[in-house]
Structure 1
Amino acid sequence: MQVLNFYSTVFADQMKRGRKTATIRLGDKRHKYRKNQVVLVTVGYQYSPREKLFHAVIDNVEVKRVKDLSPRDIEHDNPEFRRTEELVHFLKQIYDREVALDDTVTVVRFSQIVENPPDFQDRLRGVGGAQN
């Protein structure tokens, strides 16, 4: 199974609460992540224990230049950011190298897989405004 790992434990809570639903990775990662692929989302550093957060499905994989990222792309990656400059500064810290506006990035959007979500069960029973 493919793993979608995050180094910062700050993101664990955001992902568990559904606030972080994407990751922006430097380079073209289409060979690694594909739409509808199921991945294991983890948090931790290489060669260290990692925390298993949840399984997720990849909803979309889009390659673009940093300067073409939308505020929505940035917000889904980091709910605290809205501007490209904030993201560039963050990517520089993560990758420990300069990041230019013309650099290629991959936006990977994902959705947590939840066992028997309550609203789904309600829809099956016709509760909550859904009609059969």
Structure 2
Amino acid sequence: MERRTFGIDPWSQTVGWLTMQSAGKGACGSDSSAARKHAICDAPTSAAVRVSVIDRPTSSTATVAWCDPRSCRYGDQVWRASIARQPGTCALSGRSIGRGDAIYRPRACRPSPLNASAMILAAVVEDVPRG
């Protein structure tokens, strides 16, 4: 007697899962719009958030490792030099950031990263040697 298996093969399941993730999910595997509304990513509000500058590819970019176990993890996120549009707190040093201060922020992309509103003071990033 022939044995029949019903279901989807593992490859099709994987492709389907990846398609679903890229269509409606954020980079951390949760619904990006809902997660962004609830994630507090403008500053490390907990000792659990770890931020480090791992490279300076150009004079106006930095590669940052961001790990927040509550919401997201980015191992090599590109941040660009910018000007603060609103006050905040430096994610790396904890120092205050005022509107108009020179900062670095995550590069804009779609979908937006969960830490899109985070900032690091430019003076703190510029202390890291360029690679």
Q: Fold-level match, TM-score > 0.5? A: no
Tell me the TM-score range normalised by the shorter chain. Answer: under 0.3
Relative contact order higher in (CA < 8 Å, ≥ 6 apart): 1
Larger Rg: 2
